[in-house]
Amino acid sequence: MIVMPAWLDLLTIGIGGLQGALFAIFYKRFDLVGVFAVAILTGLGGGILRDVLLDAGRPAAMQDKYILTAIAAVVVALLIGRWFKKAVSGVVFLDSVAMSLFAIAGTYKALSFSTSALVAVLLGVITAVGGGVLRDVVCGMTPQIFSGGPLYATASAIGSVIFVLLERTELDLNISVAIATSLIVAIQMASVRFRIHLKPALPSLDK
């Protein structure tokens, strides 16, 4: 059985919580309670959905160390907020990094429960986008992954597939994680930079 490294979970939740806090601060102008709520939802939501679908018992996110990590991310967001306001592209990049880590962490944990490769990839994508979907719903927005935006879910799926393949080789785990997450970030940032977006499912309906 694969052992889920604690550093991957903590790093994922920390960056996800930071991204959620920055989103609430800049794009929604929420008060402190709202910022904490959005950060916790963004940081922990995807992992909770993953664990519920895996029937893994109490979600791993319901531990002090994970909740405190999300709270610490809010503190960091408040400290760097004024500087980050001038770097909107930095928020986009942070979102991409968080999503890539969520995807690989979700895929990794699914594999540790001996799921099939297909299920592992699916849960990787759900973990990657779950927190962002909850964030958008709470903020009264259509989830970005459904509205023809950057290739977030697509990139997460591709990266998860690559990770599953690499995990079956003798390659060091950390290198596999680095390759898969870097690929997801590269695809997502290229999608943002060159405006490569998915079209509506039935474009003819707009005519």
Q: Residue 204 falls within a domain, yes or no?
A: no
Q: Which residue has the tokens 């079209």?
A: 199
Identify the band that residue 185 occupies on the pLDDT scale cut at 50, 70 and 90: very high
Q: Mean pLDDT over residues 3-27, rounded?
A: 83
In the chain, the percentage of residues whose pLDDT exceeds 90 is 59
Q: Work out how many domains the chain is built from and give that number.
A: 1
Identify the band that residue 1 occupies on the pLDDT scale cut at 50, 70 and 90: very low
Q: Can you give the pTM of this predicted structure? A: 0.88
Q: Mean pLDDT over residues 144-153, rounded?
A: 83
Q: Residue 95 falls within a domain, yes or no?
A: yes
pLDDT at 82 over 80: no
Q: Mean pLDDT over residues 133-159, rounded?
A: 89
Residue in 93, 156, 90, 146 with CA at minimum distance from that of residue 123: 156
Q: Mean pLDDT over residues 58-78, rounded?
A: 92
Identify the band that residue 115 occupies on the pLDDT scale cut at 50, 70 and 90: very high
**What is the per-residue DSSP string for 64-79?**
HHHHHHHHHHHHHHHH
Q: Residue 47 falls within a domain, yes or no?
A: yes
In the chain, the percentage of residues whose pLDDT exceeds 70 is 93
pLDDT, the chain, mean:
88
Q: Residue 207 falls within a domain, yes or no?
A: no
Q: Mean pLDDT over residues 61-76, rounded?
A: 93
57 vs 164, more confident: 164
pLDDT at 162 over 70: yes
pLDDT at 84 over 80: no
Q: Residue 12 falls within a domain, yes or no?
A: yes
User: What is residue 43's predicted lDDT score, i.e. its pLDDT?
Assistant: 94
Q: Mean pLDDT over residues 168-188, rounded?
A: 93
Neighbours of 67 (CB within 10 A): 16
Q: Mean pLDDT over residues 159-187, rounded?
A: 94
Residue 56 CB burial class (10 angstroms; 0-12, 13-18, ≥19): middle
Which residue range forms the structural domain that includes residue 184? 6-194
Residue 195 CB burial class (10 angstroms; 0-12, 13-18, ≥19): exposed
Q: Mean pLDDT over residues 148-177, rounded?
A: 92
Q: Which residue has the tokens 């799926």?
A: 157
Vertex 92 angle, CA 65 and 27, to 5°: 85
User: What is residue 205's predicted lDDT score, i.e. its pLDDT?
Assistant: 72
Q: Residue 115 falls within a domain, yes or no?
A: yes
Q: Residue 102 falls within a domain, yes or no?
A: yes
Cα 66 versus chain centre, distance: 15
